[in-house]
A and B are shown apart, each in its own frame.
Chain A
């Protein structure tokens, strides 16, 4: 093949702004899994300007209510978790699939690999899905997850969190992240949370308690908005002549 003008290659570290770097040695799992070769900056063709679109019809009501997926109610503090999914221009993203998963109130995941000595809850799976409405709003009912220990370093504990999966308007906007709860005392000790270099960016993963969202005598309310955009859309220089 005849070589053509090469694409720009940038080290991951040059792209880090709001996002964590791929390699963050304090989070031990990154050491053997973070790619180290510089990334190839691609212009966006139709392949990158498109991405999956989800319609109604494959979800039912209990997908968004993690407290009603079994015959009984799960243990723990019932919470309402809601917010909007927005584009980087601030416009709501409608019909977006939002997928979540979490530990139960005791800090245990319903997963064969989780061997934490805390009880499973027969009434809690910890998996939820919904589509955003015309206002970009998602809404889940669930229970407050527990903190749990993990093997990263001696006496390592994860802050309470819920995993979120989002798609955006095109393939580059795909995002999987974690949402945290306000005032968690474990924040200073968690390498995953602290892998995000910028304090303001870290705070964008922390939900807010809102009294107006609570349902009296029934559930506490938390709000968390999500903003999706091209993660690494700004090359350091023009990579290619169009």
Chain B
């Protein structure tokens, strides 16, 4: 089933901070003073409802015009923003809390040409996760776009609800529940 010879995954363990945080990959994808900047915070929780203090959240997204900074997105009619990489990461603290500062991405097409609602791809790593788990974050002020998003439409309401952030303190709050009641919807990519 799996292609022969892929290198298997292993957990980050509890010390990922040494190698993965504080390096060239930022938690602030834009400066917090940017007029479009959005602060996204949340808590990573385990199956007992306890915070996960040794995890890491990564995000991948298009720019505000809806273009990915990657050669596979060759839609030249949609402008690239040279300074925006679209990728960032944050560790989780003692309270399981992470914080990212970014901009809302534009809409990008689905496999059949319909437009997806603005969203972030989200990867979660931690001690106790033998491989990354992947989800998506959607925006609470995009009711019309969310209502026609092909991914959200393909999910049951409870599963869909776990993917939409909520407004809090002038930013967005997006908690991620690894296990148990209210588990976040995770995707096989």
Contact = CB atoms under 8 A, between A and B. Distances in A.
A183 to B, nearest CB: 19
Binding site of B, secondary structure by majority: helix, strand, loop or mixed?
A: loop
B116 A229 contact: no
Interface in B138-163: 147, 150-157, 159-160
A68 interface: no
A51 B5 contact: no
Contact of A47 (B1, B7, B17, B119): B119
A45 B108 contact: yes
Interface residues of B, number: 79
Interface size class of A (residues with CB under 8 A): 35 or more
A205 B10 contact: yes
B189 A172 contact: yes
Contacts, number: 257
A155 interface: no
Interface in A7-65: 7, 10, 15, 17-22, 24, 27, 29-37, 39-54, 58-59
A202 B8 contact: yes
B187 A113 contact: no
Given A47-B119, A53-B70, A196-B8, A176 B132 contact: yes
B116 A231 contact: no
A235 B2 CA distance: 10
Nearest to A163: B19
B18 A111 contact: yes
Contact of B131 (A19, A27, A125, A163): A19
A90 B13 CA distance: 29
A7 B110 CA distance: 14
Contact of A175 (B2, B7, B14, B186): B7
A40 B108 contact: no
B49 to A, nearest CB: 10
Given A34-B129, A50-B70, A174-B123, A40 B187 contact: yes
8 contacts: A10-B188, A22-B130, A34-B178, A34-B179, A45-B111, A53-B70, A54-B24, A113-B54
Query: Lowest 6 CB-CB distances: which A-B pairs, in order?
Result: A101-B19, A29-B128, A17-B2, A52-B87, A50-B70, A33-B128
Given A4-B153, A47-B121, A227-B5, 12 more contacts: A32-B48, A40-B188, A41-B187, A45-B108, A45-B110, A176-B11, A177-B9, A192-B10, A205-B7, A229-B3, A230-B189, A231-B6
Interface of B: 1-3, 5-20, 23-24, 46-48, 50, 52, 54, 58, 60, 62, 68-73, 85-87, 108-112, 116, 119, 121, 123, 125-134, 147, 150-157, 159-160, 178-180, 183-189
